[in-house]
Amino acid sequence: MLTGVTRQRILITGASSGLGAGMARAFASRGRDLALCARRTDRLDELKAELAQHHPAIKVAVAALDVNDHEQVPKVFAALSEELGGIDRIIVNAGIGKGAPLGSGKLWANKATIETNLVSALVQIETALEMFHKAGSGHLVLISSVLGAKGVPGVKAAYAASKAGVRSLGESLRAEYAKGPIKISVIEPGYIESEMTAKSASTMFMVDNATGVKAIVGAIEREPGRAAVPRWPWAPLVQVMRIVPPGLAKRFA
């Protein structure tokens, strides 16, 4: 069910490519003003020019941000908010998919994934909540993953753990803000074509980027507590993943 609330000014992290850029295009087509940040400013500038050409009526603000530079997160969010005259929705999307089997001697890869996907997400969450408290309302969207539903052996163990952590933070916040004024949504995408999934060995239930982004944006607009997307087949599969033995979970990865 749609909320009837229009979140006009939307901030998206990790917006230079993949799902982040796709969401930016989708929200721009709905007439929303956008605050986009990512490490790769050349891609952000190209995206801003594209959006300005196709949607001249909207405002688009861009800024360089490495979410692992924790001191910069509140500064960049504040600057983007000032440029747009406020932020109504923040989408914590920035993430990476590095990984190696635990104990294989590649701690750096697993550590980077946990730090970017979970620790830096926490920094973004803290910043977003502080902004929304001052504004009196807002919609915080956490991009988790269907792999956050179950521990996954092998190279995706750290990634699954990081996304499970994001989901858990979202569930805690949903309970804390059950009566508002801040809305919390945890979105759990399945396999969607992007730079991150390009190197994935699994193509099970993979959908193209346009289909995946449409499902994600549609879910975000409904402002659910949580949603696995695309709904079919991932909504039922996530429930199955939570109860199957750990060894079988690898079949979904």
Q: For position 251, what pLDDT does the model report?
A: 58
Tell me the residue range of the domain where 166 lies.
Answer: 9-252
82 found inside a domain: yes
∠ CA 203-144-244, nearest 5°, is 65
pTM more than 0.75: yes
3 found inside a domain: no
Least confident segment among 29-38, 40-49, 199-208: 199-208
Q: Mean pLDDT over residues 76-101, rounded? A: 96
pLDDT tens digits, one per residue of 121-160: 999 999 999 999 999 999 999 999 999 988 888 899 999 9
2 found inside a domain: no
Q: For position 60, what pLDDT does the model report?
A: 98
pLDDT over threshold 60, residue 241? yes
Q: For position 152, what pLDDT does the model report?
A: 85
4 found inside a domain: no
Tell me how many domains the chain contains.
Answer: 1
- CATH number for 92: 3.40.50.720
Q: For position 50, what pLDDT does the model report?
A: 97
197 found inside a domain: yes
Q: For position 66, what pLDDT does the model report?
A: 97
Which of the residues are catalytic?
A: 159
73 found inside a domain: yes
pLDDT over threshold 90, residue 200? no
109 found inside a domain: yes
48 found inside a domain: yes
pLDDT over threshold 80, residue 198? no
